[in-house]
Structure 1
Amino acid sequence: MKKITLIIIGITLLVSGCNNSPEPVFDTRLQIVRGKVIGLINDGKAASISIAVAKDGKIIWEEAFGYSDMGNKIRATPHTKYGSGSIAKTITATGLMTLVEKGLVDLDKPILNYVPHLKMRSFVGFEKEITVRHILNHQSGMPSYCEVFFEDDPEGPRDFMETVRRYGIFTFPPGFSYIYSNLGYELMGYLISEVSGTDYSRFMDKNVFLPLKMTETKVKKRGRTIDHSAICYTPDFKRIPDYWASYPGASDICFSAHDLIRFGMFHLKDHLEDQAAILSDETIDKMQESYPSSNTRYGIGWFFDINEAGYRSVHHGGEDAGCDNFMRLIPAEDMALVILCNNEIGDHLSEIQEDICTALIPGFAKSRNQDQPSRQPSEAQRIPERLLGQWAGKIVAYDREIEVKLDIDNAEGAKIILSAQQESKIDLAIVTDNFLLGNFAGMIPTPDGQRHPGKIRLALVRQDDQLSGQATVQQWIEERQANFELSSWIELRRK
């Protein structure tokens, strides 16, 4: 019996990273969730998972499992720093709103009022109508953009002015549609620097991290060593080199679960004694509201939704090469949760956070089958008459134009030819009278566009006899778990 007890103790130390560490803060209502997390570590699904949960103004669970550095057998703790991924957007938005409260930035003024020297291009006009709020809400008409620069990349990080010259474009009118854009939040980071006259990193230290006592949160910079940080891994635990964006704001922050849960508690208006009120409660509410009322998806740095049981939450994920994170707040229940991982764990991430909410909020979970109509097999998608025919035009990339021919009919579907490339069939995802979304095998032959194999996604809007919108190169680097999305303007006319 003594031997069995020692084995159990050893396993507990391995998965929780608690060797010679204080006893973790833990609420027994979460025992089943904890067991599932331990199972993920033991089954080789995750290198490490760091979790923090707060309820009614108190941290009720704070614990880490597995290894932050597998090669050196360094165990993760709640104070281990993880790459932020896109959760940095919520933090950047918080910093920006401190400037709004001081009257230095107006959300509904044109962004060009604050950064007039940036060489951004609108192919649809409305340059002076694109506001700071449009950028924050992902409603500016700026297309998809995702790009990172690894430490062994000879080019990068690229100068931000050059990135804006290449990809700072607007392909739809402001307010036309929600289009998630990392470059938009890099612009917000740059705006903070321009308006404050202070480097983004120093501004965030002084105006967000230190006042909120987030002492384990830092902005990533090339050449800066961040102690006690988790190594990023592929799903099969191969180390991923360090990387950076062209400019911080959309990502490039490192934080611990302990710091991030306290950040969440600030946005729950828990008024912790050691945190300064860097924003008023009214401003915090504005960040989380649906404004205008037609905006039902993304506020100022926060996604929002209402689950099937009627609980409204604000949240943000943070998926990047070798990091998989989630932060959710349920304001009506004064509850926040944070989950940080140093490799991609897929659906397990959403399952963990759903299990935490279900354990703490009676009635939170509603059966996915309840009140859901049974799905009937859909008929083959028929292309509307208005889109049928032959179209010709061009893709306008940052350094060249590419001739495009598009042929659409209901017998053969949609086929496209780019310049001298072979004809490709378009896999159509959405087709209406005035909109077409699909992807095809192809390449935009800029230096960036042909760096890695991939495909091209089209998002086209019809106006009379013209189709226009964005053509986005999509590249996936498996060995580095990195996604690239580089967009250009496309315009076609009916022949």
Structure 2
Amino acid sequence: MSDKKESVSKAITRRDFLYRSAAAGASVPLLTSNITNQEPATERVVTPPAEFKAVRDFIGEKIRTGIVPSLVIMVVKDRQTVWAEAFGYADLETKRKATVNSIYKIASVSKPITVTGLMTLVDRGLINLDQPANDYLQDANLRAYVGSASGMTLRRLANHTSGLPIHENLFYDGAQPLSASETIRGYGFAAWEPGTHFQYCNLGTAILGFITEAVSKTPWARYLKRTLFDPLGMRRTFAELPPGREKEAAGRYGVDITTQYDYDLAGRFVRTGPHSTDHPGGSSMWSCASDLVSFAQMHINGGVLNGTRILREESARIMQNLTVESNEEPGRKYGVGWWGDSSLGRHNFGHSGGGPGMGVMLSAYPDDNTITVVLTNYYGAMAPEVAKRLARVLLPNSQGTSGRPDPQNNVSGPSATPVTLTGTWGGKLLYPAGDIPLRLVIHDNGMAEVGFGKRPLVKMNDVSMKNGNFTGSTEGVLIRRPGFQGVSVLEFQLRREGSRMIGICDTYAKGYFELAHWVELENQP
């Protein structure tokens, strides 16, 4: 997405532009479908078989005790729905009950959808997964502080090994999010040599969405609607909805939009404020259970659903091939857009999603032709926990390891060689508004102090040193913008390389942002 495109109309926001574009005609020839003119199906409640009683009782208890506002569950096996049910309230204030057609924010489940859109361009020969992303970006380029930006390929963006650091950036109270080019200029850098380190990153997938728009010459949301949502009958799925006007923008499906909640200190539900992001392809979408089932079924089928081919079979298999070990939890592996659990002992793929007011889980088991979807409108562990309980019922004999590891793609571990970090270090923190001079003093007793610019040194918290790596945190004012005027936590994650100390300062304010800034220091005599 270029700044030029984004400035087409200053009377509407970027998010409004993308939403309105979704309703317009495409500017390039796109996939057609036999089902685009059909009315969307209205799903009905399907009572589960007896073997799901324990899972249903667990959900019911959590609803009754106020752990989760609402939950929608759908289990499909061999294209037959064996369980479809809604629990609780889509909106607590109005007592509007959730239904199996309710539309939820799906957070990071957006990622495999965004990657699927990109893969349709791969199938058309317009994109090569192993080309550098910079070959396709128009107004801003990725850079590498370690290794080379040429190693930041589309494949590595999709499997979180491009070297990009963590990135979450939410904008409230009508604040305008950064443009694609502003985000890339500020935060699009490799903090590790591309291909050597796994780091889950919303920005990587968002960049794939930006590239999809640039290469297709079609607004991203419109491209997904015409290429994926319409052909698959996903009428209750939206790439984005303008914050605060979701129901209006969803049109006839506005009645199905859920309200998002979080807990306060007393354990009461409070509304989550409407927000937008600068990483839409990574976390911006809305959908319902049946639409997500259709999307997963297309992937299980090798890229085709109801006679309509979305992807080549090879492309669907590439996405499901879990080649990258993650550092998130034992057994977790990533493919191209999908992740899976290698401990199940059978082919599986899926994705979870979480954030302010959203917690969802989509799981697919191709060998069993089974799909499960769990959607909630609060940020918590309920959806993954229910998905695990469903897997125990559906796959009672699952155990062992699976997957096809690719040694060239598996990430490397840290060195175990002891490295001395004590001493005085001086350098800078690279910040979009201007570099900030930085001093770090690490004492023999394990205490560390940090100073910014001309300010005095302050003692750091949670200091840890191991295998040449340093972590420690402090608090201060670094990011100020409309919608956020608070103090941030600044957590340094550094590693020694010769006479230098390099890494990131992970700056975060929970519920608002988690943004990395590059740090480079030299050992001072």
- What SS does the corresponding residue of 1:442 show, helix, strand or coil? strand
On the 8 A contact 1:187/1:249 being kept in 2, the answer is: yes
Q: Aligned-pair distance for 1:405?
A: 1.9
Compared CA separation, residues 429 and 210, structure 1 to 2 (3 A)? farther
Which string of whole-angstrom CA distances, capped at 9 and with x for unpartnered residues, describes residues 113-135 of structure 1? 11142143333351233211111
On the 8 A contact 2:143/2:188 being kept in 1, the answer is: yes
On the 8 A contact 2:169/2:279 being kept in 1, the answer is: no
Distance, in Å, in 2 between the alignment partners of 1:335 and 1:57 is 8
Report what 2:522 is aligned to: 493
Report what 2:222 is aligned to: 202
Q: Aligned-pair distance for 1:462?
A: 2.0
1:401 maps to amino acid: D
Distance, in Å, in 2 between the alignment partners of 1:271 and 1:141 is 29
2:282 maps to amino acid: A
On the 8 A contact 2:260/2:271 being kept in 1, the answer is: yes
- Are 1:302 and 2:324 an aligned pair? no
Which string of whole-angstrom CA distances, capped at 9 and with x for unpartnered residues, describes residues 170-193 of structure 1? 222211311111111111111111
- Are 1:94 and 2:122 an aligned pair? no
Q: Aligned-pair distance for 1:247?
A: 4.7
Distance, in Å, in 1 between the alignment partners of 2:153 and 2:314 is 21
Deviates more, 1:333-342 or 1:77-86: 333-342
- Are 1:189 and 2:189 an aligned pair? no
1:303 maps to amino acid: W
| Count of residues paired in the alignment | 450
Compared CA separation, residues 28 and 267, structure 1 to 2 (3 A)? farther
1:232 maps to amino acid: Q
Q: Aligned-pair distance for 1:451?
A: 3.5
1:359 maps to amino acid: V
1:109 to 126, 131, 144: 131
Distance, in Å, in 2 between the alignment partners of 1:138 and 1:271 is 23
Q: Aligned-pair distance for 1:383?
A: 10
Task: Give the 5 Å matches for 1:219-298.
Answer: 219-222=239-242, 225-226=249-250, 227=254, 228-235=256-263, 236-269=268-301, 274=306, 276-291=308-323, 297-298=333-334
Q: Aligned-pair distance for 1:464?
A: 0.8
Compared CA separation, residues 219 and 292, structure 1 to 2 (3 A)? closer
Compared CA separation, residues 145 and 448, structure 1 to 2 (3 A)? farther
- Are 1:180 and 2:200 an aligned pair? yes
1:304 maps to amino acid: G
Which string of whole-angstrom CA distances, capped at 9 and with x for unpartnered residues, describes residues 325-374 of structure 1? 1112233332221111001233x3332111111112122379xxxxxxxx
Deviates more, 1:180-189 or 1:401-410: 401-410
Which string of whole-angstrom CA distances, capped at 9 and with x for unpartnered residues, describes residues 295-333 of structure 1? 9732111122222x5345322111011001111223333
TM-score by length of 2: 0.80
Task: Give the 5 Å matches for 1:267-416.
Answer: 267-269=299-301, 274=306, 276-291=308-323, 297-307=333-343, 310-346=345-381, 348-364=382-398, 384-416=418-450
Task: Give the 5 Å matches for 1:408-447.
Answer: 408-419=442-453, 420=455, 422-428=457-463, 431-433=466-468, 435-436=469-470, 438-443=471-476, 445-447=478-480
Distance, in Å, in 1 between the alignment partners of 2:148 and 2:336 is 22
1:486 maps to amino acid: L
Q: Aligned-pair distance for 1:206?
A: 0.7
Which string of whole-angstrom CA distances, capped at 9 and with x for unpartnered residues, describes residues 147-168 of structure 1? 1112x24x31333322222222
Distance, in Å, in 2 between the alignment partners of 1:168 and 1:101 is 27
Alignment root-mean-square deviation, CA: 2.7
Compared CA separation, residues 324 and 414, structure 1 to 2 (3 A)? same
Report what 2:33 is aligned to: none
- Are 1:465 and 2:485 an aligned pair? no
- What SS does the corresponding residue of 1:177 show, helix, strand or coil? coil
Compared CA separation, residues 445 and 351, structure 1 to 2 (3 A)? closer
- Are 1:165 and 2:185 an aligned pair? yes
Report what 2:4 is aligned to: none
Distance, in Å, in 2 between the alignment partners of 1:425 and 1:163 is 29
Distance, in Å, in 2 between the alignment partners of 1:137 and 1:467 is 27
Which string of whole-angstrom CA distances, capped at 9 and with x for unpartnered residues, describes residues 188-225 of structure 1? 11111111011111100111111111111112232562
TM-score by length of 1: 0.84
Distance, in Å, in 2 between the alignment partners of 1:104 and 1:383 is 45
- What SS does the corresponding residue of 1:250 show, helix, strand or coil? helix
Compared CA separation, residues 170 and 342, structure 1 to 2 (3 A)? same
On the 8 A contact 2:324/2:335 being kept in 1, the answer is: no
- Are 1:72 and 2:94 an aligned pair? yes
Task: Give the 5 Å matches for 1:142-153.
Answer: 142-150=164-172, 152-153=173-174
Distance, in Å, in 2 between the alignment partners of 1:173 and 1:401 is 22
Q: Aligned-pair distance for 1:452?
A: 2.7
2:260 maps to amino acid: C
- What SS does the corresponding residue of 1:386 show, helix, strand or coil? coil
Gaps of 5+ in 2: 1-41, 401-415
- What SS does the corresponding residue of 2:112 show, helix, strand or coil? helix
Report what 1:32 is aligned to: 54
Identity of paired residues, percent? Answer: 28
Gaps of 5+ in 1: 1-19, 367-381, 477-481
Distance, in Å, in 1 between the alignment partners of 2:390 and 2:304 is 23
Compared CA separation, residues 422 and 442, structure 1 to 2 (3 A)? farther
On the 8 A contact 1:383/1:409 being kept in 2, the answer is: no
Q: Aligned-pair distance for 1:442?
A: 2.3
